[in-house]
Amino acid sequence: MAETKARVARPLSPHIQIYRFMLTYVMSGFHRVTGAGLYFGMLFVVWWLMAAASGPNAYAQVQWFMGTIIGRLVLLGFTWALIHHALGGIRHLIWDTLHGFGPSEREWLARATLVGSISLTIIVWVAGYLAMGGGR
């Protein structure tokens, strides 16, 4: 909005803190926050690809970092954010077809997004550890 010269103290509409807790608005916020997180998380993807293109030493550095506790937490967060954002996106695509707006449906979708993202993250990590041949 363009700044107006005379700012009149008009009443503002209430922000979310005044409303009763709703899972749907929390999931809406999660969608945006995970999206923003993944935006910066792409830097790790770039780092990984550039290291692979640079040579064994650079690649070993990435592998070392991803093996540390912090690296694994970053990777876990990235995995969950990616899956959560993807499921949240599917929820939005369902809404785009004008379905799923009913009181029970939207609540169910919000829960399914959260339960689905946590379950799928666990499945992906189990698959990852199995692919590596057990934990290291």
Partner 1 sequence: MEPNVSMKTPLGRVRGLGSARSGTQHFWHQRLTSVAGIPLTIAFIVIVIALLGRNHAAAVQILGSPLVAIVMLLFIINTVYHMCIGMQEIIIDYVHNDLTKFIVLMGNTFFGVAVALASIYAILKLSSGV
Instruction: List residues near partner 1 by CB under 8 A.
Output: 1-2, 32, 35-36, 38-39, 42-43, 45-46, 49-50, 52-53, 55-56, 59-60, 79, 82, 86, 89-90, 92-93, 96, 124, 127-128, 131-133, 136
Min dist. Cβ of residue 23 to partner 1 (A): 22
Cβ atoms of 26 and 32 closer than 8 Å = no
115: exposed, middle or buried (Cβ count in 10 Å: 0-12, 13-18, 19+)? exposed
Are 94 and 109 within 8 A, CB to CB?
yes
Between 22 and 33, CB nearer to partner 1: 33
Task: For the CB of residue 103, give the shortest distance to partner 1 in the complex, in Å.
Answer: 25
Measured from the CB of residue 104, what is the shortest distance to partner 1 in angstroms? 25
Q: Which is nearer to partner 1, 6 or 103 (CB)?
A: 6
Cβ count near 95 (within 10 Å): 14
Give the Cα separation of 69 and 118 in Å (integer): 20
The nearest distance, CB 6 to partner 1, in angstroms, is 17
User: 97 or 104: whose CB is closer to partner 1?
Assistant: 97
Instruction: Find, among 39, 134, 23, the residue nearest to 78 by Cα.
Output: 39
